[in-house]
A and B are shown apart, each in its own frame.
Chain A
Amino acid sequence: MAERKIRILMAKPGLDGHDRGVKVVARALRDAGFEVIYTGLHQTPEMIANTAVQEGVDAVGLSVLSGAHNTLFPAVIEALRKKGANSVMVFGGGIIPEEDMVFLKDKGVKAVFTPGTSTEEIISFVRTSVKSIH
Chain B
Amino acid sequence: MSDLAEKVLRGEVLPTARLIRDLDDGIDGAISELKILYPHTGKAEIIGITGAPGAGKSTLVNRLIENFRSRGKKVGVIAVDPTSPFSGGAVLGDRIRMQNHFNDPGVFIRSVATRGHLGGLSSSAYEIIKVLDAFGSDVILVETVGVGQDEVEIAGAAHTTVVVLTPGMGDEIQNLKAGILEIADVLVVNKADREGAQVTVQGLRRLLEMGGFDRKGWKPPICLTVGTEGTGIADLVQAVDQHREFWNRQKAQPGFENKRREEDFLRILQGQAISKLIVNLRRSGSLDEIVSRLVRGESDPYSESEKVLKLGDYRPT
Q: B19 to chain A: closest CB distance in Å?
A: 9
Chain A residues within an 8 Å CB radius of B113 = 5, 35
> Number of contacting residues on B, CB 8 A?
31
Answer whether A47 and B102 are a contact pair too, CB < 8 Å, given A32-B87, A35-B90, A56-B18: yes
Total A-B residue contacts, Cβ distance less than 8 Å: 90
Chain A residues within an 8 Å CB radius of B95 = 37, 39, 51
Interface residues in B10-66 (C-beta closer than 8 Å to A):
13-14, 17-18, 20-21, 24-28
Answer whether A33 and B89 are a contact pair too, CB < 8 Å, given A53-B13, A54-B108, A55-B111: yes
Which of A3, A35, A38 counts the most chain B CB atoms within 10 A? A35
Q: A45 to chain B: closest CB distance in Å?
A: 11
Chain B residues within an 8 Å CB radius of A38 = 91-93, 96
B84 in contact (CB, < 8 A): yes
Interface residues in A1-53 (C-beta closer than 8 Å to B):
1-5, 7, 26-27, 29-40, 43-44, 46-47, 50-51, 53
In the bound complex, what is the Cα–Cα distance between A73 and B279 (angstroms)?
44
Chain A residues within an 8 Å CB radius of B96 = 38-40
Q: Name which residue of chain A comes closest to B108, CB basis.
A: A54
Q: A93 to chain B: closest CB distance in Å?
A: 17
Q: B14 to chain A: closest CB distance in Å?
A: 5
Chain B residues within an 8 Å CB radius of A29 = 89
Chain B residues within an 8 Å CB radius of A55 = 17, 92, 109-111
Interface size bracket, A side: 20 to 34
A84 in contact (CB, < 8 A): yes
Which of A36, A54, A55 counts the most chain B CB atoms within 10 A? A54
In the bound complex, what is the Cα–Cα distance between A2 and B31 (angstroms)?
14
In the bound complex, what is the Cα–Cα distance between A43 and B99 (angstroms)?
9
Interface residues in A50-78 (C-beta closer than 8 Å to B):
50-51, 53-56
Chain A residues within an 8 Å CB radius of B27 = 1-2, 4
B103 in contact (CB, < 8 A): yes
> Can you list 13 contacts pairing A with B, beta carbon distance less than 8 Å?
A1-B27, A4-B27, A5-B25, A30-B89, A30-B90, A32-B89, A35-B90, A36-B90, A37-B92, A50-B103, A53-B17, A56-B18, A85-B14
User: Which residues does A use to contact B, with CB under 8 Å?
Assistant: 1-5, 7, 26-27, 29-40, 43-44, 46-47, 50-51, 53-56, 83-85
